[in-house]
Amino acid sequence: MAGGGKISPRQKMINLMYLVFIAMIAMNVSKDVLSAFGNFEKKFVEVNTLATETNNRLLADLKQKSEEKPEEFAFVANKAEQLSAVSDDFFNYLESLKRDLLSDGNYEIESDTGELNYESMDKTDLLDEKWFTGDRLTVAGEEVFARLKNYKADIQGIIGYDTVNNQASDAKYIKALEVFDRRFDLTDQVNSQSGKSLHWLDYNFKGFPAIASYAKMSAIQNDVKVTETNLYNLFIGNTLDEAITLKNYNAIVLADKSAFFAGEQFQGRVVLGKYANVTPKSLTLEGQPYDLSDAIDSTGAAMVSFNVGNVGEHTFEGVFTFLEDGKDLDIPFEANYVVVPRPNSASVSADKMNVVYRGLENPMTIAFPGVPDNNTVASAPGMRKIGNGKYVLNPTTGSDVTVNVTATLDDGSKVNDKRVFRIKNIPSPIGKVAGKKGTVALNKRDVSTSKILADFGDFVYDLETSVYSFEVTVSGKSPIRVTGNRLNTEAQNAINSAPRNSIVVIDNIRVRAKGVSVQIPEAAPITVKLTN
């Protein structure tokens, strides 16, 4: 049931057991083979006993560590206790199946050897009748398989299983979960001789002598113990690595100053560091004691504030003082910052062009550099706010519109700015028939069956249009008014009766567009020369 990598002694033993399976011929199994299974069973019992002792020590070690250093070990110790409970429950359930098998076969431990008589455990019908009915499982068989699946799900839950990506939620447990999934692969198996796909329980237990099934159950118990051992070691190993691995360090960028002017080169350092959640004894800033009563955050950082100087570059320094080994430990620091002038102009731009269009919701982005959005107010006729710094402007009358912006600075003072935008009308759309525009040559069928459409060509807005009426004029005949976007019967008959090379004009094309609140000009006409 295990797989991958270098073959361990335990895996060699399991592989050998499967080779013995192949040597069995129907129900005529030699006593030597049955004894061999018995020997496998004894080995598994011995290994499981040792594994139990090892697991108990590992669990006790984790519990002790969680009491000594709860911030480091409490979480994994809790996982370990869950793992122990689930493993013990399933191990004991398997033990009950083994006892039932012995009871059903009237197998007893012999008084002279203190062991089962393995050579007598050749019955194959004990589990066959109890767990299987034809190609299906009995209620008892379904219960056994359900317990296997529940055990697997419980272990995945303890590790933390991402059902979307079918892997451990925590990256450090991904490999362990992959190994566990292979060890308890409960999918249907293919019989190498018949090529038939068999249920996992059928493949592993149906038709085998009692001692083989008994040993198989002990092997599964061993898989449970091995899983438990591996995960305990993983919990402890990860916790120890937590204290020394570089993965717990952050890459910190230390700029030479906290602001740079346009055209300057950025200068700074990138270092590895850790945030120590240690409360300092005191902080001195620019030679003066700093009140730490409300300044320390959850990472141990001190939040400082002070009035900055005039415009230009400045340096400030101080000393962090900690208590270590009963003595004061001073850690000096120094940093640069740059003071820039207060903002006095707003940044206002139309997202589509330098003009706005009448009847459309023109999107705009409005911001004052260095001022939060909640302290910035923009206004204009037909303007409304739709998001953080995002507005729409729908102008109606006039040839231009003024956008006024007011920002409230940190000190409560206000600055104002404005921008003027030209207002343009929506351009005329272009009529189309059979995907063509302007003057085209088409056959009668294409003209009479195609929709009459209209669009705005390369207009900056992608408007969703619909034609709701138009006129069709065939050479020598009166115009025919059509409602909708397809030729009516009258217009189709006029085209079909027209001689070849007749000219058909489709004009007065009236259009609607989604999101447009003004009348759209009629679309440019289409001139068609009939080719048949």
Lowest mean pLDDT among 89-93, 243-247, 478-482: 243-247
Residue 2 lies in a domain: no
Lowest mean pLDDT among 235-239, 398-402, 410-414, 517-521: 235-239
Mean pLDDT on 269-285: 68
Q: Give yes or no: residues 139 and 238 share one domain.
A: yes
Per-residue pLDDT at 334? 81
Q: Give yes or no: residues 377 and 497 share one domain.
A: no
Per-residue pLDDT at 248? 53
Q: Give yes or no: residues 373 and 410 share one domain.
A: yes
145 or 108: which leads in pLDDT: 145
Residue from 302, 350, 299 nearest 460 by CA:
350
CB 442 within 8 A of CB 433: yes
Q: pLDDT class for 124, splitting at 50, 70, 90?
A: confident
Of 200, 216, 246, the residue that ends a domain is 246
Report long-range pairs for 271-280 (Cβ below 8 Å, ≥24 apart): 272/246, 273/249, 274/248, 274/249, 274/250, 275/250, 275/299, 275/300, 275/301, 276/300, 278/322, 280/320, 280/321, 280/322
Residue 67 lies in a domain: yes
Mapping DSSP to helix (H, G, I), strand (E, B) and coil, where does residue 3 land? coil
Per-residue pLDDT at 353? 63
Mean pLDDT on 87-95: 95
Lowest mean pLDDT among 266-275, 359-368, 376-385: 266-275
Q: Give yes or no: residues 169 and 188 share one domain.
A: yes
Q: Give yes or no: residues 239 and 261 share one domain.
A: no
Report long-range pairs for 259-262 (Cβ below 8 Å, ≥24 apart): 259/337, 259/338, 259/339, 259/340, 260/338, 261/338, 261/340
User: Domain holding 461: CATH number?
Assistant: 2.60.40
Q: Give yes or no: residues 334 and 361 share one domain.
A: no
Q: Give yes or no: residues 254 and 242 share one domain.
A: no
Summary mean pLDDT of the chain: 81
Mean pLDDT on 437-449: 92
Per-residue pLDDT at 142? 94
| Tens-place pLDDT, residues 295-337 | 677 666 777 777 776 666 678 788 877 765 345 778 887 877 7
Residue 3 lies in a domain: no
Indicate if the pLDDT at residue 116 is higher than 70: yes
Q: Is beta strand 288-289 parallel, antiparallel or unpaired with respect to 282-285?
A: antiparallel
Indicate if the pLDDT at residue 36 is higher than 60: yes
Per-residue pLDDT at 9? 63
Q: Give yes or no: residues 321 and 209 share one domain.
A: no
CB 430 within 8 A of CB 401: no
| Tens-place pLDDT, residues 240-260 | 444 444 455 566 666 666 665
What are the respective helix, strand and coil percentages of the chain, to the nearest 5? 35, 30, 35
pTM value?
0.43
Chain centre to alpha carbon of residue 96: 42
Residue 141 lies in a domain: yes
Query: In degrees to the nearest 10, what's the CA dihedral of 238, 242, 244, 250?
Result: 130
Per-residue pLDDT at 17? 64
Distances from the Cα of 67 to the Cα of 63, 70, 77, angstroms: 6, 6, 10
Per-residue pLDDT at 75? 84
Lowest mean pLDDT among 140-149, 334-343, 380-389: 334-343
- Structural domain for 129, as ranges: 9-246
Q: Give yes or no: residues 194 and 304 share one domain.
A: no
Q: pLDDT class for 135, splitting at 50, 70, 90?
A: confident
Indicate if the pLDDT at residue 212 is higher than 70: yes
Q: Give yes or no: residues 232 and 272 share one domain.
A: no
Distances from the Cα of 432 to the Cα of 444, 447, 494, 512, 530, angstroms: 15, 11, 19, 15, 16
User: Domain holding 380: CATH number?
Assistant: 2.60.40.10
Mean pLDDT on 120-148: 90
Tokens in use for 483? 């409602």
Of 399, 424, 449, the residue that ends a domain is 424
Per-residue pLDDT at 3? 43
Residue 273 lies in a domain: yes
d(CA 398, CA 413): 33
Mean pLDDT on 79-89: 93
Mean pLDDT on 90-118: 87
Q: pLDDT class for 114, splitting at 50, 70, 90?
A: confident
Of 246, 269, 296, the residue that ends a domain is 246
Q: Give yes or no: residues 203 and 118 share one domain.
A: yes
> Which residues on adjacent β-strands are paired with residue 400?
422
Residue 469 lies in a domain: yes
Specify the number of domains making up the chain: 4
Q: Give yes or no: residues 414 and 506 share one domain.
A: no
Per-residue pLDDT at 271? 63
Residue 1 lies in a domain: no
d(CA 210, CA 217): 11
Q: At what angle do helices 70-104 and 31-68 cross, to 10 degrees?
A: 160
